[in-house]
Structure 1
Amino acid sequence: MPDAAPPADRRARRRRILGWAMWDPGTQPFNSVITTFVFSVYIVSDSFGSNDHTSTSLSWTMALAGLCIALLAPVVGQWADRSGRRLGTLKWLTWALALMSGCLFFIQARASYLLLGLVLLGIGTVISDVASALYNGLLDEVAGGGKVGRISGFGWGLGYMGGIIALLVIYVAWIQPDVGWFGVTATNGMNIRVSMLFCAAWIVLLTLPTFIILRDRPRTGITAGTGLVGAYRRLGRSVAGLWRTHRGIVVFLIASALFRDGLNGVFQFGGPIAKQTFGFTSAQVLVFGIAANLVAGVSTIGFGLLDDRIGPRRVIIGSLVILIAVAVAVFVLHNGGPIVFWVLGMAMCAFVGPAQSASRSYLARACPKQMQGEVFGLYATTGKAVSFLAPLLFGLFITAGRMIGGGDNNQYWGILGIAVVLLAGLLAMIPVKDVAAPALH
């Protein structure tokens, strides 16, 4: 149907959409630069200890952070909904994320700073994921008119673009040259540490449009908080009600919680594996990260067209099958050197984005219009419920590899832990019924 809204209303709506979408590229450096391709690679380097020790320490940190996210996300989300302060809460969490990013500047390249660096990284990860849950919850309110999928993809695309630009700037300014901008060198990790200040400034500046344009809507009937137990009781009642009326959606939420955690693990631990197992330098890891974001973005757009032809369920299942096979190939060919990881790593990146996008597409099609807000809230919450699983299994498999083979270079065993999580998601996804056509909104 043609948009019958007056031009002023259309401009205001587009402005709100842009304001909402800018949060994604604004906070993207924490994901792409800090947790994936730069700081996580820095914190597992030889300066902080032996290879297996730093890798397992990182995995335990991320597992603990995932557990905290699972406990906090429902409480924070429900409190923000009831109090009518979703945007205000998101703003403070975003500023706290910038603060945590900037504090990473103080992590010198010494073993004595490993614990502090991991603590700051873990706290930042919790803040980032809880804030993301609030941000996703704003989608239905901002989109309106049944355009959730289109606007969601717009924000996702801007996020990939933000990650690519941030990585490029850091590479050109401080990683690639021997003497970077402002005379910064790699001595004592200063080039990495200054990059953390850049990320902090980026987060503050690029998310400003979100908080300037958007405002919390007045809420009526606000109730008092119910605490952790009460929050999970409310969550249980929502899931129980959905199970009675739309059981297939609940099954999909469980499956997506598993495979989405595995997909996050692919990016989260790809950088450390590239450096420690396949011999990448820090600069090469960063270049790989730029290419990974580009490949993921392009493939996501391409598979979005395929999604409309064959359905999101087939895209998800096909992507998971290929990802599991490539993960096993990474394990088997771990002695192949950088060229092997370039080929296999790019193959994995090409299917991570499509699986994530198709997951959101499936839910948008399967969910009744009047239940979108509730179901997408559950989607955000269940996505955090097992966010500790991939990091936990990554660390357990490294420990198992050390027990079996000995030595101090067993990071490649961790990819099998991620493959197990992806396999669990695949098996849970098989019973899920396909949606033949987009829901009529």
Structure 2
Amino acid sequence: MAQPSGRARIWGWYFFDWASQPYNTLLLTFIFGPYFAATVSANLIASGMPEAAAKAQAQAYWGWGLAIAGVSIAVLAPVLGAIADNSGRKLPWIWFFSFLYFTGSLALWWTAPQDFSVLWALFFFGIGLIGMEFATIFTNSYLPELDDNPAELGRISGSGWAFGYVGGVLALALMLALFQATGSGKTMAGLSPLFGLDPATKADTRIVGPLTAVWFAVFMIPFFLTARDRPTAMADRIVIRQSLRDLGRTLRGLPRHPSLLAYLGSSMFYRDALNGMYTFGGVYATGVLNWSITQVGIFGILAAVSGAVFCWIAGRVDRRVGPMPVIVFCNVALALVAVLIVSVSPGQVLWIPVAEGSALPDVSFFIAGAVIGAAGGALQASSRNMMTRQANPERMTEAFGLYALSGKATSFLAPALIAFTSQMTGSQQLGVTPIVGLFILGLILLAWVKPNGDFSR
């Protein structure tokens, strides 16, 4: 088979971000997450639970489900990364986890409110989430192979993330224009939901699962056509045994590489905080501000557009000054916007009362969404590039497995803290306060990170 050109490989790699982004945009944050919370809270209210407690409990269920999926990813990520490094085979793993992504998202169609099961909804969502996260680990490890000049990797990473955001925006816009009914029974484009989907059964919302699955299957084609592995001659049995030994040696050696260790710790906290924002943003807006799914979708478009623009800009800044200044700036911005979010409710902004019916709380939350999209996207793109500077060049997939481990070792922490705080306080608003502390911890640990890492290049 002919080898694709370097440009073709880069664009094929970009298409993974384009294909996979709707799981975050449509399912995790802006459509299915709020639908899950609204459906669960409505069922709890119907069973006699007070409204505020029901909304907090729904947020808690969502948090515990994500925490369990995060633990699964944390345990397996570095092991599979080490195996991929020693075997040279990444594509078979990406095919397998792509299947999980497709299956998990497709199955969300069967979550009608009439016979809604919290357990099965979280199970299938978790299967898809695990597929998306592991596929991302293996595709991220291709980044250092895309250009011989390390200085260009920040630009490539930022452009890829921006391209993914554009895909997320387009998928969300299609969802709102063609499928999701507003209060009038029509979509935002003034159409009846496509395929005669009945809003009474929430079919117009549940279609987000199959839409995400089909989108991923179609747009992964360019990636699979251009990605190439460099397999070794080691037998599978030897690969597994050697991989576990290599992983153990890497973990034992982390204290000898303090910059890498500090970076893994820092990113562990700030990425967990950011994921908490993404995961609970739509749920928070639905429960605290009483937004509709359509309003949350518009919020998502704004966040994704700002994310696409600022990822592209941040990639150029990263190329000029390196990823560290971008990471620090974005962490500060996100910590401040987390404080803003906690202070917003229908009756107050920054804990200052506003007039009844004031639009200021909604406007403030839209502004927060734009900042989250901009700073969050730039933070993830530059963090991905920073990992290429911190890691051993010979063990890149294993390193991204550790990167995933650092992101998932406490990935249960933000959802679990939010779930616990929501249950203990009975308040969605107070439930998200742990996010602020996680950003601060991440910033503190960055003080021990060297911009170019411990490994000579």
> Which TM-score band (shorter chain)?
0.7 to 0.9
Q: CA offsets, 1:57-105, max 9 Å, x none?
A: 0000001111111012123323333444310121121022111111110
* Structure-2 residue corresponding to 1:204: 217
Distance 1:219 1:434, change over 3 A: closer
Q: Which residue in 1 is equivalent to 2:446?
A: 429
Q: How many residues align?
A: 422
Contact 1:79-1:225 at 8 Å conserved across structures: no
Distance in 2 between residues matched to 1:102 and 1:368, nearest whole Å: 38
Q: 2:176 aligns with which of 168, 171, 175?
A: 171
How far is the alpha carbon of 1:321 from its aligned partner? 2.3
Q: Does 1:360 align with 2:384?
A: yes
Structure 2 CA distance, aligned partners of 1:173 and 1:291? 18
Q: Distance in 1 between matches of 2:62 and 2:322?
A: 37
Select the residue among 12, 28, 31 that pairs with 1:19: 12
Deviations 1:115-147 (A, max 9, x none): 211111122212211221112122223444534
Aligned to 1:414: 431
1:250-261 to 2 correspondences below 5 Å:
250-261=261-272
Structure 2 distance, partners of 1:327, 1:111, is 35
TM-superposed CA distance for 1:111, in Å, is 6.4
**Partner SS, residue 113 of structure 2:** coil
Equivalent in the alignment of 1:162: 167
Looking at structure 1, the residues matched to 178 and 198 of structure 2 have their Cα atoms a distance apart, in angstroms, of 10
User: Which residues in structure 2 correspond to 1:110-121 (within 5 Å)?
Assistant: 110=114, 112-121=116-125
Does 269-278 or 185-194 show the bigger shift?
185-194
Conservation of the 8 A alpha-carbon contact between 1:66 and 1:387:
yes
Query: Which aligned pairs between 1:13-52 and structure 2 lie closer than 5 A?
Result: 13-45=6-38, 46-49=41-44, 50-52=54-56
From 373, 379, 393, the equivalent of 2:403 is 379
Q: Return the offset for 1:282.
A: 0.4
Change (3 A) 1:226 1:37: same
Query: What are the within-5 Å matches in structure 2 for residues 316-335 of structure 1?
Result: 316-335=327-346
| Identical amino acids, percent of aligned pairs | 32
| Counterpart contact for 1:317–1:430, Cα < 8 Å | no
Closer, same or farther in 2 for the Cα pair 1:225/1:270, shift >3 Å? farther
Cα 1:415–1:120 change in 2 (3 A) is same
Q: Deviation per CA, 1:306-341: give whole Å up to 9, x if none.
A: 445655333322322232222122212223442221
Alignment partner, residue 3 of structure 1: none
Q: In the TM superposition, what is the alpha-carbon distance from 1:398 to its structure 2 partner?
A: 0.9
SS at match of 2:117: helix
Q: Does 1:277 align with 2:288?
A: yes
Q: Tell me how far apart the structure 2 counterparts of residues 225 and 44 of structure 1 sit (CA, whole Å).
A: 47
Aligned partners of 2:115 and 2:430: how far apart in 1? 24
Q: In angstroms, what is the RMSD of aligned CA positions?
A: 2.8
In structure 2, relative to structure 1, the CA distance for the partners of 1:182 and 1:56 (3 Å cut) is same
Residue aligning to 1:213: 226
TM-score of the aligned structures, taking structure 1 as reference length: 0.87
Q: Which residue of 2 aligns with 1:79?
A: 83
1:278-329 residue CA offsets vs partner (Å, 9 max, x unmatched): 1211001011101101112212233344445655333322322232222122
Q: CA contact under 8 A between 1:61 and 1:122: conserved in structure 2?
A: yes
> Where does residue 391 of structure 1 map in the other structure?
415
Query: For the structure 1 residues 226 and 61, does the alpha-carbon distance in structure 2 shift closer, same or farther, using more than 3 Å as the test?
Result: farther
Which among 89, 96, 103 is matched to residue 99 of structure 1?
103
Q: Distance in 2 between matches of 1:361 and 1:137?
A: 10
**Partners of 1:414 and 1:307 in 2: how far apart?**
34
The answer (yes or no) to whether the contact 1:82–1:222 under 8 Å persists in 2 is no
- Work out the CA distance in 2 between the residues paired with 1:85 and 1:303: 32
Quick check: 2:158–2:314 contact (8 Å CA) kept in 1? no
